[in-house]
A = this chain, B = another copy of it.
Amino acid sequence: MINANDPSLKSWVEVPEKSDFPIQNLPFGIFKTEYLTPGAGVAIGNYIVDLTYLHENGFFDGLGLSSGVFNQQYLNDFIGLGKEVTGAVRNRIAELLEENNAELRDNKPARELALIDKSEAEMLMPIKVQNYTDFYSSVEHATNVGTMFRDPDNALLPNWKHIPVGYHGRASSIVPSGVNIHRPKGQTKAPDAELPSFGPSKRLDFELETAFITCKENGLGNAVSTEQAEEYIFGFVLFNDWSARDIQVWEYVPLGPFLAKNFASSISPWIVTMDALEPFRVPTPKQEPAVLPYLEYKGDKNFNINLEVYLQPEGGEENLICKSNFKYMYWNVNQQLAHHTVNGCNIQVGDMYASGTISGPTEDSYGSMLELAWKGTKPIKLSDGSERKFIEDGDTVIMRGHAEKDGVRIGFGEVASKVLPAK
């Protein structure tokens, strides 16, 4: 069987230049159309490959898949088959789409039914999120926040370089790109106010993050080592961790963020597999002081993924407001998962683990409005002449990401959501 990652592969499906979805990517998602109930698909160029159709018509015979595995509302059952199986499925799809393979290419009726034009499909949540954890793994972000709210000379808290700090978030309110978000209401207290007040958040923010999705269970009580971690990680999505800063600052001591975050988080609908990202590995930044043995790891564990955030005012054009990169992450995903399970916490198939805001070293690479506009002191100028300290009603926040090397571009598509006024 061919290897989908082979950079020389070309598909008989047209893939426009700069497309996020060449034959080397093949991310998995859940789509529906006017005629098709929700089911699994894979993106290539401007098309979606209908996996239910291919499976029902024998194109995956021999891979040991159960009959209904793709014809479902979520990918949980599929990814739970394990990376050996799902990797073989991805390679088989590459084989079917490869330019010299006639199986599907020259079978016009099958080809026309198997390839869905993206414009005719709606993308849904790819997985039922079982548990959601948010890490806080960008040293630049943690330093910026610490500088703004605490002490520039001691910006990082004492535990930060020893622990991949994380906390539990709300799984129910994670929604796919395209679902618009109402500005949350909540309790806030101005520093000079005697009592808190209630109303729509005045400091609504995005956070540029990625998230990985797990595909294997460890069982309660069993730690997953940094070396084993990758068996558990199916792939990645872009993640917008919407945050109401004014609610957060009043509520978060001592038990962490709650209503400031749990009104919504938005994800890109295509899960880019860890397999597809293999060619883009880069070293994790040096960790000093040395980590405890359970957090040690070998090899290149970061990924060189360009990340961008655009802000589009109502009726206006997109403004690029942030250019960051996943490679800046101080803690890698292997360390995050090893830490999360070192106490025996059990991982489930379909868990989502977000990175925390990914800020880079320069001012244009900060991954939140809080940092970009530096707590409101440096408003961002948009092309229509308006300014932003935080996100306003009618604004659409769009995040995009892609890795690129040897002429191959592995992209995530986008997560785009508009902010609607408070209900």
Q: Which A residues are closer than 8 A to B by beta carbons?
A: 130-132, 136, 157-159, 162-163, 165-173, 175, 179, 182, 184-187, 189, 195-198, 220-223, 244, 247, 250-259, 262-264, 289, 292-294, 339-340, 342-348, 351, 423
A258, B168: Cβ atoms closer than 8 Å:
yes
Tell me how many chains of this kind the complex includes.
2
- Contact of B255 with A166 in the complex, beta carbons under 8 Å: yes
The residue of chain B having its C-beta at the shortest distance from the C-beta of A422 within the complex is B344
CA distance A158 to B189 in the complex (A): 10
Query: In the complex, A187 Cα to B164 Cα: how many Å?
Result: 11
In the bound complex, how far is the Cα of B159 from the Cα of A197, in angstroms?
A: 12
From B162, B294, B345, A170 is in contact (CB under 8 Å) with B345
CA of A257 to CA of B244 in the docked complex: distance in angstroms?
Answer: 21
Q: Which of A169, A187, A223, A292 counts the most B-chain CB atoms under 10 A from its CB? A: A187
Alpha-carbon distance A393/B423, docked complex (angstroms): 52
Contact check: which of B186, B196, B256 meets A343 at CB < 8 Å? B186
Q: What residues on B are CB-neighbors of A157 within 8 Å?
A: 253-254
Identify the closest chain B residue to A146 (Cβ).
B254
A347 to B170, CA, bound (A): 10
Contact B136 A255, beta carbon cutoff 8 Å: yes
**Residue in B158, B175, B220 whose CB lies within 8 Å of A220:** B175
List the B side residues contacting A253 at CB < 8 Å.
Answer: 157, 159, 254
Chain B residues with CB below 8 A from A351, complex form: 172
Give the residues in chain B near A167, CB-CB below 8 Å.
Answer: 167-168, 255-258
A256 touches B254 (CB 8 A): yes
Q: How far is the CB of A411 from chain B (nearest CB, A)?
A: 28
Given the contacts A171-B171, A172-B130, A255-B257, A262 and B345 also touching, CB distance less than 8 Å:
yes
- List 30 interface pairs A-B (beta carbons < 8 Å), by A numbering: A131-B171, A136-B255, A157-B253, A159-B189, A159-B250, A162-B189, A162-B196, A163-B196, A165-B258, A166-B258, A167-B167, A167-B255, A167-B256, A168-B169, A172-B346, A172-B347, A173-B220, A184-B343, A184-B344, A220-B263, A221-B263, A252-B254, A252-B255, A252-B256, A255-B257, A256-B256, A259-B343, A259-B345, A262-B343, A263-B344
Report how far A133 CA is from B364 CA in the complex, Å: 36
Contacts known (A171-B131, A344-B182, A423-B221); A251 close to B165, Cβ less than 8 A: yes
A166 contact set on B, CB distance < 8 A = 255, 258
Whether B185 pairs with A343 at a CB distance below 8 angstroms is yes
Q: With the chains together, A93 CA to B257 CA distance in Å?
A: 43
Q: Give chain B nearest CB distance to A294 CB in angstroms.
A: 6
Q: Please list the 6 inter-chain residue pairs (A to B) with the smallest Cβ-Cβ separation, ordered nearest first.
A: A256-B256, A184-B343, A167-B255, A168-B168, A263-B343, A255-B256
A132 CA to B173 CA, complexed, in Å: 13
Contact B251 A195 (CB under 8 A): no
Cβ–Cβ contact A198 & B343, under 8 A: no
Q: How far is the CA of A339 from the CA of B263 in the complex (A)?
A: 12
- Across the interface, name the chain B residue whose C-beta is closest to A264: B220
Q: Besides A173-B220, A186-B342, 15 other CB < 8 A contacts?
A: A130-B172, A158-B189, A162-B187, A166-B258, A167-B256, A172-B220, A172-B345, A175-B220, A182-B221, A198-B342, A220-B263, A221-B423, A259-B339, A263-B345, A344-B423
Chain B hits for A256, CB < 8 A: 167, 252, 254-257
